[in-house]
Amino acid sequence: MTTLEIQRALAARGFNPGPLDGLWGPKTKAAVVAFQRSAGLYPDGIVGPKTTMALEVPWPPASGSDPAPPRQSSSAIGLAALISREGRKLTAYRDSVGIWTIGIGHTAAAGAPVPYSGLKITAAECDAIFARDIVKYEDTVRDVINVTLADHQFDALASICYNIGQGGFSTSTFAKRINAGASAAQIRSAILSWQKPAEIKSRRTAEADQFATPYSVRLPKGRSTDASPIKLAA
């Protein structure tokens, strides 16, 4: 498929690839990632054989019934920001509070594999674990938040949930304020209240900034202390 064909197929399915201009850019890649996640494919943003086959399925379905709208999920920008915050470690280590961690912030709380001293994984295993883990936290964001979110807002909340856990997110004040239509300042204040341990402050500030700032204005930083925003792979 050409880039233009990919863009048209995405747009027909409700995924916004940006202008239908045949040019591959961040918006098109983000739409591919969202489509892959909704189709149960590995969300790498690459239109390989499996993604091509899924995009070439006739649309809308022949049954004539209205297709369900795609579930919102992390964009390519959001995934890049989250990965920059978590890091990518192929050997198990203890995090700042002593919890065994491996890959992209994977702990035993997220399921198998259970990290332990000496455990090593490959880069491919790291990506596969992350692709499985992130779904849990995206599900929590969708379940807890009952208002419409822009991509940058959903991405920021998925990043926060990945860090503080599903339980913390579900009962958080910031989630309640978002649902209640609170002011931007009130939501930001509630997000920034999650600053333990102290070294998480720069991450939480970056997430609060991400929630408040559309990607058309500025790409997010991994941490507020970073010199520049994240960079997306071409």
Considering the candidates 86, 127, 133, 151, report the single residue annotated as catalytic. 86
Considering the candidates 5, 44, 95, 226, report the single residue annotated as catalytic. 95
**In whole angstroms, what separates CA 163 from the centre of its chain?**
12
Separation of alpha carbons 28 and 5, rounded Å: 11
Catalytic, 125? Answer no
Catalytic, 207? Answer no
Q: Which residues participate in catalysis according to the annotation? A: 86, 95
